[in-house]
Each structure stands twice: as C-alpha cells, then as structure tokens.
C-alpha cells in the first residue's frame, strides 16, 4: 500500500489537479511534483502565503475523492 506523495508513480482518479482557494485557479499536471511547482509559483506570483503546497494538494485530492488515501 502506498500513500500519495510517497510513490510518484501513483496518479489519482481524474489525474493531478488542484484548485487554489481564493483565486479559484485550476492547475493540472502529469505528476505531483509538477503540480506542486505550479501551485508554488502561482502563490508566490500572487502574494499568497506559500505554506505547504504538497500537503495542501494531497489533502485537497483526498477530500475530492471522498477521503481515500490509498490507491
């Protein structure tokens, strides 16, 4: 069993995407790492606190999939 974020070969159903709260901008990427980079750049460019993009993406993905943590 692998948790998202630990195994880069895992892609959640629907692919990797994230909608940034506040701006409602939707990011899409082929990998979690690419998505994290896009979200980080958007936050920096829009004076949004960087926080922890990877953790935010993983939590948001689990939430959109009904709390699933394991694929």
pLDDT tens across 25-66, in order?
Answer: 999 999 999 999 999 999 999 999 999 999 999 999 999 988
Whole-number pLDDT of residue 70: 46
At residue 50's C-alpha, the angle toward residues 34 and 3, to 5°, is 50
Whats the size of the chain, residue-wise? Answer: 71
At which residue do the structure tokens 């920096």 appear? 44
Residue 68 has pLDDT above 60, yes or no: no
The Cα–Cα gap between 43 and 66 comes to: 26
Number of H helices, E strands in the chain: 2, 2
Whole-number pLDDT of residue 69: 54
């Amino acid at each position: 069993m692998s948790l998202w974020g630990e195994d880069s070969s895992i892609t959640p159903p629907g692919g990797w995407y994230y909608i940034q709260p506040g701006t409602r901008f939707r990011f899409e990427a082929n990998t979690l790492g690419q998505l994290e980079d896009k979200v980080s750049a958007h936050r920096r460019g829009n004076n949004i606190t960087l926080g922890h993009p990877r953790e935010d993406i993983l939590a948001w993905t689990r939430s959109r999939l009904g709390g699933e943590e394991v694929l």
